[in-house]
Amino acid sequence: MYDETLPTVEQLEVDELVCWRVHTRHGELLMTQQGAQVLSYQPHGEEPVIWLSGQAAYQKGKAVRGGVPVCWPWFGDLRRNPAEIQGMHQGGPICPAHGLVRERDWTLLGIDSEGPAVRLDFALDTASEPLPGWPHAAELKLSILMDEQLRLTLSTRNTGDRPLAISQALHSYFAVSDIQGVEVEGLDDCRYIETLEDWQERKQKGPVSFRGETDRIYLETPRRMAIVDRAWKRRILLEADGSASAVVWNPWIDKSRRLSQFAEDAWKGMLCIETARVMDDFLVLRPGEEQRMVLNISSTPL
Ligand SMILES: O=P(O)(O)OC[C@H]1O[C@@H](O)[C@H](O)[C@@H](O)[C@@H]1O
């Protein structure tokens, strides 16, 4: 039955962070202004789709472990990025992994409800709020639309007068029943970079399954991928647009011990599939140009 009181959006503070809890007829979402980071997402009557660490810390200046951090204007270790991306960084010691925006407060542009759906729009303008060591003008936006799916649109506009080179990712943490029992469909025959073995290039054969630490960059990825989770009897569908690379990551046992805000056994219940523009798939924006990367997430019973 349709609940007349929905959708609702409630602003709250979780420890040091300003957050919003969105409740629609389809599910619940928690997000924070810091990094415009979706923290959790759970459709009604289902296990969570987006994973949030039980040891998450809600502190200013620290990315929360879990959810969907935005990696921008570079992904991962800057030194592993193409020369064009490295060239955008103008020295200085501040060169954190995954770029410069996941620990910053973004500006809330608005919250709108469209019938049963809710949309939240956030922006970060590097011309008015410069990023350390990255003296370029760009307008970054993240739009989060929650209808029967969760739809994330990350867009970058070059507001400067020179070309802009960027790598980026929507670093989505998905919740799974047990990593050892799930498979990722859609990557058969894709080339990937095995970052754990000297960044060698390999080719995927069949679905991806998990038997140890996994940290791979898939290239020329298809629009659709899926996480098949038989124990939870569901398939999480990822539909991307404006992205042709993806990172598949699970830290497994040893690396889990070295991660912040991460329980020793948390690796069993999560899997990152990061919708990206990395390696040769990086973006170059002409002055005035805008480019979008879209990720739509849904789930269906198996
Ligand atoms: O701890 P961070 O900075 O959030 O990074 C988490 C992981 O992010 C993934 O994207 C990387 O491929 C991993 O190598 C990394 O460990």
Q: Summarize pLDDT for 151-166 with one digit per residue, the tens.
A: 999 999 999 999 999 9
Residue nearest to atom 16 of ligand 1 (CA): 251
Q: Summarize pLDDT for 110-126 with one digit per residue, the tens.
A: 999 989 999 999 999 99
The CB of 138 under 6 Å from ligand 1? The reply is no
Structure tokens at 283: 């973006």
Q: Give Cβ neighbours of residue 221 (< 8 Å, ≥ 6 apart).
A: 186, 187, 190, 240, 243, 244, 245, 246
Instruction: Report which of 14, 30, 36 is spatially closest to residue 153, judged by C-alpha positions.
Output: 36
Please list the ranges in the chain whose pLDDT falls under 50: 1
Q: Please say whether the beta carbons of 124 and 107 come within 8 A.
A: yes
- The two most distant CA atoms of the chain are separated, in Å, by 58
* 5 CA from centroid of ligand 1 (Å): 39
Domains in the chain with CATH codes:
8-168+233-246+273-301 (2.70.98.10)
Q: Please say whether the beta carbons of 154 and 293 come within 8 A.
A: yes
The Cα–Cα gap between 166 and 156 comes to 9
- Please state the atom number of ligand 1 nearest to the C-alpha of residue 274: 10
ipTM attached to this prediction? 0.98
Q: Which of 68, 249, 277 to mutate to test the pocket of ligand 1 (most atoms within 8 A of CB)?
A: 249
What integer pLDDT is reported at residue 97 of this predicted model?
Answer: 96
Residue 62 class from Cβ within 10 Å (0-12 exposed, 13-18 middle, 19+ buried)? middle
What integer pLDDT is reported at residue 189 of this predicted model?
Answer: 98
The Cα–Cα gap between 277 and 224 comes to 15
pTM across the whole model: 0.97
Residue 44 Rama label (left phi>0; alpha psi -120 to 50; beta): beta
Residues tagged active-site:
171, 274
Q: Which of 195, 215, 253 to mutate to test the pocket of ligand 1 (most atoms within 8 A of CB)?
A: 215
Using CA atoms, how far residue 79 sits from 32, 95, 105, 276, in Å, is 29, 9, 26, 17
What integer pLDDT is reported at residue 165 of this predicted model?
Answer: 98
What integer pLDDT is reported at residue 94 of this predicted model?
Answer: 66
Residue nearest to atom 9 of ligand 1 (CA): 249
